[in-house]
Amino acid sequence: MKPSNNTLRSLNIPRPIRVQADARGRPVAIDRERQRVSVEQIEDRWRIDDEWWRSDISRMYYRVVLAGGRLLVMFQDLIGGQWYDQITATPKREPEPVRVLVPKA
């Protein structure tokens, strides 16, 4: 039987990336498309330890601003050491303009 094109597949699968970290383990640069891009700012950091009943998950997440202003969420697998790019719905850096409707006098 031929497989259907309507099969389910996972979304938001993390992609391995190469990260240069400082002495404290924080990302300072990543390799993207054969270029090294510096991390300008770490906006947020959080840790997730989960699923001890199946297989351990231990990750340190970073939401960073790259050179050029792009936002990126990445994490390091604290068990294996590999870094991953986590695809997310990234918020815009500038707020949406507010339009106030005022009746003309």
Label residue 95 by pLDDT band (50, 70, 90).
low
Q: Is 30 exposed, middle or buried (0-12, 13-18, 19+ CB in 10 A)?
A: buried
Checking 52-58 for CB contacts under 8 A at 24+ apart, the result is none
pLDDT of residue 13: 81
Label residue 2 by pLDDT band (50, 70, 90).
low
**pLDDT at 12 > cutoff 70:** yes
**pLDDT at 49 > cutoff 60:** yes
Terminal-residue alpha carbon distance, the chain: 71
Tracing tokens 């090294």 back to the chain, one arrives at 36
Residue extents of the structural domains in the chain: 15-86
Note the pTM of the prediction, 2 decimals.
0.72
Backbone angles phi, psi at 22, to 5 degrees: -85, -175
